[in-house]
């Protein structure tokens, strides 16, 4: 793993401990593109949950603003673009954080 990547992930983890953030918030906080932020988030989530320490990676799922559908079972960390129930594209952004167990 490149040292620069490690630093970015450490910075992302630090930002996530301050509150629930969207991938856009993270990209701004760390100074990388949103797509890169999502790639790093995957690794941060795995690392935090696998560490088995006092911290846990948490996800607040997206919701459809039109019908209230919640994307609970989504495995990818990218906000979906369309509701499968009503086809609305008014979807709230996923939020991520690191909390104490
Ligand atoms: Zn909907």
CA 47/CA 65 separation, integer angstroms: 32
pLDDT at 1: 60
Q: How close is the Cα of 96 to the center of ligand 1, in Å? A: 22
pLDDT at 4: 76
Query: Which structural domain range is residue 73 located in?
Result: 3-100
Q: What sign for the dihedral angle of Cα 41, 46, 48, 49?
A: positive
Neighbours of ion ligand 1 (CB under 5 A): 64, 66-67, 69, 83, 85-86, 88
pLDDT at 76 over 90: no
The enclosing domain of 8 has a CATH number of: 1.10.10
The number of domains in the chain is 1
**Tens-digit pLDDT profile for residues 17-55:** 999 999 999 999 999 999 999 999 999 999 998 887 789
What is the pTM assigned to this prediction? Answer: 0.88
Q: How close is the Cα of 93 to the center of ligand 1, in Å? A: 14
Q: How close is the Cα of 76 to the center of ligand 1, in Å? A: 19
């Amino acid at each position: 793993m490149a040292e620069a990547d490690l630093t970015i992930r450490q910075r992302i983890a630090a930002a996530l401990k301050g509150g629930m953030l969207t991938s856009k918030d993270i990209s701004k906080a760390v100074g990388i593109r949103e797509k890169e932020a999502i790639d790093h988030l995957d690794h941060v989530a795995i690392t935090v949950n696998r560490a088995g320490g006092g911290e846990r990676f948490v996800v607040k799922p997206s919701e459809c603003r039109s019908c209230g559908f919640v994307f609970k079972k989504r495995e990818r960390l990218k906000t979906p673009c369309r509701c499968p129930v009503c086809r609305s594209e008014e979807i709230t952004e996923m939020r991520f954080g690191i909390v104490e167990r």
